[in-house]
Amino acid sequence: MHLTFLQAPTLIQKRIWLFSFIFWITLSSLFTVWRINDEIMEFNTDLSEKALSLHRLVSQRADQHDAHLTGLSALASTNQKPLFGMMTSLSSTIQKFYPRITSIDLVTRSPNNPLEIFSTRQSSLDNLTIQQINKAALAATGPLRIIPKDGYYLLVKRSPNTDAARYGLSLTIDANALLQNDLDFGANSAISLLTPKGASILRIGDASSDGFFPQELKFRQVLGSQSQPLVLEIRKIVTPAGLFPWASSLTFTLFLGFVLFAVNTYWKQLRHAKLAEKRALLRENEARIAQASRINSLGEMASGIAHELTQPLTAILSQSQAGERIAKLKPEETEKIVSVLNAISQQATRAGNILERLRKWSTKSTKGLEQVDLNKVAQDINDLMMADLKEKGIRLKLSLSSTAPIILADAVQIEQVVFNLARNGVEAMERIQNGCLEIDTRMNDGWTVITISDNGTGIPADIRPNLYDPFFTTKTNGMGLGLSLCEGIVERFGGILKVENGKDCGVVSKVSFKLDQSNG
């Protein structure tokens, strides 16, 4: 009787310890797997954000090559013979500010005997390169041609860009300099630049797949440049061993083990106390032989009932304690997490909208004429420049017409003009305090007008005569095409661009359209 009574609790205790151990190992393993997966997702998010930043940077650099070729082609094909002096000067300027362009070459476009007629190389072009440039120029039908090499590529344009082209104009682009960036993609990652057909131009780094259960994170996207649809590919290999969250997993495992040990120890002490009471009761009943049978029966009944009730009560207690611990475990973090997630959602949505607007702004429009509300253009410019102006401490003031000032034009190109003029104003105020940029729209005396003014340093008298000349600039890294392009866009839609100094200070840029044409 006593032996059975003492062995039952011991067997139950062993089973509880075994169940606790299995539960501890299982939950700790699940937590570790979850943390590893979370680390991989964070790596993937980090890679995507950095890759998109690099993609935008390389796309912008690639778009610059098209502008360089356009300017050089104009000098090469304007007259009967290329303007070698101006080409040499422009080439020197381009290579000074864009060192990734290692050489600029011009060869005759001939099916039989192409010749080198201009080059910035220290030595003459080799015959193979001349033949390759000529072949690409002969095959060109308008878009630029790409000749991949090991670590660089040639970008070829026929000049002039017609079927009667006389020359093949080439830029040699250093792919390593094109991909140069300050982003840290970490170890075991590789950045590759490929042609649209998959031929490799350059690969930086090594993403080897050694290790236990390697996971490949990959970013692959075509550059946003229409003239150079190269493919940017970024690969990164991560392994669970390299991502193992030692600190958090060890902390969680030890904490869970401590909790389970404390619960089992408490239950064991409680059980021992109950057993001690029952032993005392049995010894007292043994003194009463007459009542021994009844007491033993009652004792067995009480023991059975206690045994049956203890398990569900213990389970209820354990579950209640677990729920209490979860509720008490930093409850304020939930509101913070929800607040942070809501804020992230709102800013992502707003960035997406700005990027989408920037993408449309930087892409050549193929739409026809449409009704453009200059008030909306001014609002869009406000949204685009808000963050940059806030960072530079410049205030933007909108004075919009109460009647919608509508013109007939291309919305993207008009927004490009206003953005360029506003950006010029911002650059003129970078060295002053209390800078203020104002955009004003109005309808006046048969004209629809949008005015961009600043309180910057104004236009020096010595550069006013050359203000609209192509390739004339006072900026150290400028090409001198901004105002020239803006003037061409405005005139294309029947408008007038006038840039002059303000009455007191700064610059006033006024874009005017005939009211009868705008309402077309």
How many domains, the chain? 2
In a domain, 396, yes or no: yes
| Residue that finishes a domain, picked among 214, 244, 274 | 244
Look up the pTM and report it: 0.44
| Residue that finishes a domain, picked among 244, 274, 301 | 244
**What's residue 9's pLDDT?**
56
Contact 402, 490 (CB under 8 A): no
Given a cut of 70, whether residue 483 has pLDDT beyond it is yes
In a domain, 451, yes or no: yes
Contact 394, 382 (CB under 8 A): no
CA distance 174 to 98: 10
- With bands split at pLDDT 50, 70 and 90, how would you rate the model's confidence at 362? low
In a domain, 288, yes or no: no
- Domain, as residue range, for 166: 1-244
Q: Is residue 266 classed as helix, strand or coil in its secondary structure?
A: helix
Q: Is residue 246 classed as helix, strand or coil in its secondary structure?
A: helix
For residue 98, the domain's CATH number is: 3.30.450
Over residues 167-178, the pLDDT tens digits come to: 999 999 999 999
Given a cut of 60, whether residue 429 has pLDDT beyond it is yes
Tokens 């007292």 map to which residue? 284
Mean per-residue pLDDT over the chain, rounded: 77
β-bridge partners, 495: 513
**What's residue 30's pLDDT?**
78
Question: Which one-letter DSSP state was computed for residue 210?
Answer: -
In a domain, 327, yes or no: no
Taking CB atoms within 8 Å and a gap of at least 24, the contacts of 412-415 are 412/360, 412/361, 412/363, 412/365, 412/367, 413/365, 413/489, 413/492, 413/493, 414/372, 414/374, 414/377, 414/489, 414/493, 415/361, 415/377, 415/380, 415/381
**What's residue 338's pLDDT?**
44
Q: Measured between alpha carbons, how far apart are the two ends of the chain, in Å?
A: 108
Tell me, yes or no, whether 376 and 234 share the same domain.
Answer: no
Q: Where are the beta strands (DSSP E) in 413-461?
A: 436-444, 447-454
Q: Which residues contact 312 (CB under 8 A, 6 or more apart)?
A: none
Q: Which residues contact 143 (CB under 8 A, 6 or more apart)?
A: 227
109 or 39: which leads in pLDDT: 109
In a domain, 340, yes or no: no
**What's residue 154's pLDDT?**
95
CA distance 391 to 376: 24
For residue 426, the domain's CATH number is: 3.30.565.10
β-bridge partners, 172: 103, 154
In a domain, 472, yes or no: yes
What is the share, in percent, of the chain residues with pLDDT greater than 70? 73
Q: Which residues contact 472 (CB under 8 A, 6 or more apart)?
A: 463, 466, 480
Over residues 176-221, the pLDDT tens digits come to: 999 999 888 877 889 999 998 889 999 998 877 665 567 788 899 9
**What's residue 384's pLDDT?**
78
**What's residue 519's pLDDT?**
47
In this structure, of 32-46, 304-318, 400-414, the range with the lowest mean pLDDT score is 304-318
CA distance 280 to 9: 17
C-alpha dist (Å) from residue 147 to 105, 155, 230, 231, 249:
14, 7, 11, 14, 52
Residue 242 structure tokens: 């390299």
CA distance 520 to 516: 6
CA distance 299 to 370: 96
In a domain, 419, yes or no: yes
| Residue that finishes a domain, picked among 244, 265, 287 | 244
**What's residue 289's pLDDT?**
43
CA distance 362 to 64: 12
CA distance 143 to 195: 15
> Dihedral (C-alpha) 209, 210, 211, 212: value to the nearest 10 degrees?
60
In a domain, 347, yes or no: no
Given a cut of 60, whether residue 328 has pLDDT beyond it is no
50 or 269: which leads in pLDDT: 50
CA distance 376 to 80: 47
**What's residue 167's pLDDT?**
94
- With bands split at pLDDT 50, 70 and 90, how would you rate the model's confidence at 474? low
